A and B are shown apart, each in its own frame.
Chain A
Amino acid sequence: DIQMTQSPSTLSASVGDRVTITCRASQSVTNWLAWYQQKPGKAPKLLIYKASSLESGVPSRFSGSGSGTEFTLTISSLQPDDFATYYCQQYNFYSSIFGQGTKVEIK
């Protein structure tokens, strides 16, 4: 079974910082990789799909890169609304695995 490992688990940052979150797959997932943002008590929100495609309506400060087994989510300039938990997700039609999440906290 594929495993998805995110790092770090928690990240402390300030408004304006550049933030990078890494997701590693135990085997190649080609580019079937998505990133989500989740705030407390809310459903996840799709940010990035197919590793690097920005979902409609998502600010351009969010970007994704990578393929195969290593992927990154970058927030170019952290905004107050971005403090949340972020999940990577490997997906195909018949299954999906989420990473364990990265909580972005205010420094």
Chain B
Amino acid sequence: QVQLVESGGGVVQPGRSLRLSCAASGFTFSSYAMHWVRQAPGKGLEWVAVISYDGTNKYYADSVKGRFTISRENSNNTLDLQMHSLRPDDTSVYYCARRAPGAAGYDYWGQGTLVTVSS
């Protein structure tokens, strides 16, 4: 069965960096675009970034552009999000999600990993 498992969250001081990972299994990872979506405590969902199936195309929300980098390693079935210059308003649960075939929304999500930016 399809599984997405995020890791790497934790407490980090403002201005520091953190790297999140998402381990994928149960499907042909190299065939799917992948996304990061975040959710601040008690708030709604915010799309963060997308990477194409082969890693050649990457797009970001304006709120993270220039600070976050999405990447993937298809040989290891892993998706990463490198986060720099973290701010308190980056505090969120970060989810990785698979883009369904035929542009049919995001059909599988991980359980999320909490990033808290605080001094």
Using Cβ atoms and an 8 Å threshold, which residues of chain B touch A92? 103
Cross-chain contact B112 with A50 (CB below 8 angstroms): no
Using Cβ atoms and an 8 Å threshold, which residues of chain A touch B95? 43-44
Using Cβ atoms and an 8 Å threshold, which residues of chain A touch B111? 42-43
B86 within 8 Å of A (CB atoms): no
**What range describes how many residues of B lie at the interface?**
20 to 34
We find that the number of chain A residues with CB closer than 8 angstroms to chain B is: 27
Give Cα distance in the complex from A34 to B47, angstroms.
13
A50-B104, A87-B44, A101-B44 given as contacts; is B35 within 8 A of A96 (CB)? yes
B11 within 8 Å of A (CB atoms): no
Using Cβ atoms and an 8 Å threshold, which residues of chain B touch A53? 104
A89 within 8 Å of B (CB atoms): yes
Give Cα distance in the complex from A76 to B75, angstroms.
45
A49 within 8 Å of B (CB atoms): yes
Using Cβ atoms and an 8 Å threshold, which residues of chain A touch B46? 98
Cross-chain contact B45 with A46 (CB below 8 angstroms): no
Using Cβ atoms and an 8 Å threshold, which residues of chain B touch A38? 45
Cβ 8 A contact of A49, one of B44, B45, B100: B100
**A-contact bits for B26-49, CB 8 A (1 contact / 0 none):** 000000010101000000111100
Cross-chain contact A100 with B44 (CB below 8 angstroms): yes
Give Cα distance in the complex from A42 to B39, angstroms.
11
Choose among A34, A45, A96, A101 the residue with the greatest number of B CB atoms under 10 Å from its CB. A96
**A-contact bits for B43-68, CB 8 A (1 contact / 0 none):** 01111001010000101010000000
- Across the A-B interface, give the 10 residue pairs with the lowest CB-CB distance, nearest first: A34-B105, A43-B109, A49-B105, A96-B47, A49-B104, A94-B59, A98-B45, A101-B44, A46-B105, A100-B44
Residues on A facing B (Cβ under 8 Å): 32, 34, 36, 38, 42-46, 48-50, 53, 55, 87, 89, 91-101
